[in-house]
Amino acid sequence: MANLDLSNQRILVTGGAGFLGQQVISQLCDRGADPAKITVPRSADCDLRVLENCHQAVKNQDVIVHLAAHVGGIGLNQLKPAELFYDNLMMGTQLIHAAYQAGVGKFVCVGTICAYPKFTPVPFKEEDIWNGYPEETNAPYGVAKKALLVQLQSYRQQYGFNGIYLLPVNLYGPADNFKPESSHVIPALIRKVHEAQIAGDKQIPVWGDGSPSREFIYVDDAARGIAIATTSYDGADPVNLGTNYEITIKDLITLICKLMDYQGEIVWQTDKPNGQPRRCLDTQKAQEYFGFTAQVDIERGLQNTIDWYRTHGE
């Protein structure tokens, strides 16, 4: 399959000012995209939940990379399930439809690992995505994003619309969201340890019992995978982006404490939810379809993230 020459493509990157988006733009430019031809709509003046704004955003664009999402950790998913369902569904479905109507050449949709069923065999294979309902705490978000896969596949079938769907595992890295009310597990734990060190606290509370496992992908790796797929993948199948490395929350917090030189005690809050029991992706398709493998291991990625937070705070 011939690679898409990005040098003459007008590219819209929704969420392009965000944590992942900035890295995706950098990776697209590394692959020949012209920065002057990349557009980043800002939510303040382009609310993609409004159809007319979607039509305006996609006008005269050749490639859409849809990263924009209303997203957070377990806490936010429990607090605002309706908002997470509505916002993500409306942004995505209207943008896809507007892009199809405008004759956009390629649509790259970034989905979520939350779309997988609660008890998916590990490692998660793309074929298993419909074999059950997602884990309850993040199901509204996961179902909304999974609906976009159905939309892209049906638009491909009926209209020949070239839309691809990628499933990155949990992201982390420098410039992540460290806000307590909406952060994911790695930035939340780094912040907890940092604040405990400053306060001189001898113990830190951590949600759940430490038994669930997770897989994490460093933001630069995820962005590189998205950029490679933008140039080199045109298939209907959803594709996982991950590292194929699984770590329990207990081992994760132990590693973070070691890297941050914190000797305090971990107090497990077993009245708080664990979330999905295990998460680890089968990453063979990304390798097979467009030659992507992750490069940054968890220890190096965590150290980079810790160093950034200690320097920049939020």
Q: Give residue-wise pLDDT tens across range 60-73.
A: 999 999 999 987 67
What are the Cα distances from residue 69, in Å, to 86, 184, 224? Answer: 11, 14, 19
Strand partners, 107: 64, 163
Q: Give first-to-last CA distance, the chain, whole Å.
A: 43
CA atoms within 13 A on the CB side of 176: 33
Residues in the chain: 314
Domain assignment present for residue 194? The answer is no
| Token code pair at residue 126 | 């793309």
Binding residues: 15-21, 145, 168-171, 184, 192, 207, 214
Binding residues for NADP(+): 15-21, 145, 168-171, 184
What proportion of the chain, given as a percentage, has pLDDT over 70? 98
226-244 burial code (b ≥16 CB/10 A, e <16): bbbbbbbbbeeebbbbbbb
Binding residues for substrate: 192, 207, 214
Domain assignment present for residue 32? The answer is yes
For the stretch 11-36, pLDDT in tens is 999 999 999 999 999 999 999 999 99
Mean pLDDT of 160-189: 93
User: What are the residue numbers of the active site?
Assistant: 141
**pLDDT band at residue 314, thresholds of 50, 70 and 90?**
low
Domain assignment present for residue 102? The answer is yes
For residues 292 and 17, what is the distance between their CA atoms, to the nearest angstrom? 24
Domain assignment present for residue 179? The answer is no
Q: Average model confidence (pLDDT) for the chain?
A: 94
Mean pLDDT of 277-284: 92
Instruction: Read off the CATH number of the domain in which 116 is found.
Output: 3.40.50.720
Domain assignment present for residue 186? The answer is no
Total-model pTM: 0.94
Range of the domain at 128: 11-172+217-244+279-295
Q: Residue 219: helix, strand or coil by DSSP?
A: helix
Peptide bond into 212 cis (omega under 30): no
For residues 302 and 190, what is the distance between their CA atoms, to the nearest angstrom? 9
C-alpha 262: how far from chain center: 29
pLDDT at 1 over 50: no
For residues 92 and 109, what is the distance between their CA atoms, to the nearest angstrom? 8
Domain assignment present for residue 198? The answer is no
Number of domains forming the structure of the chain = 1
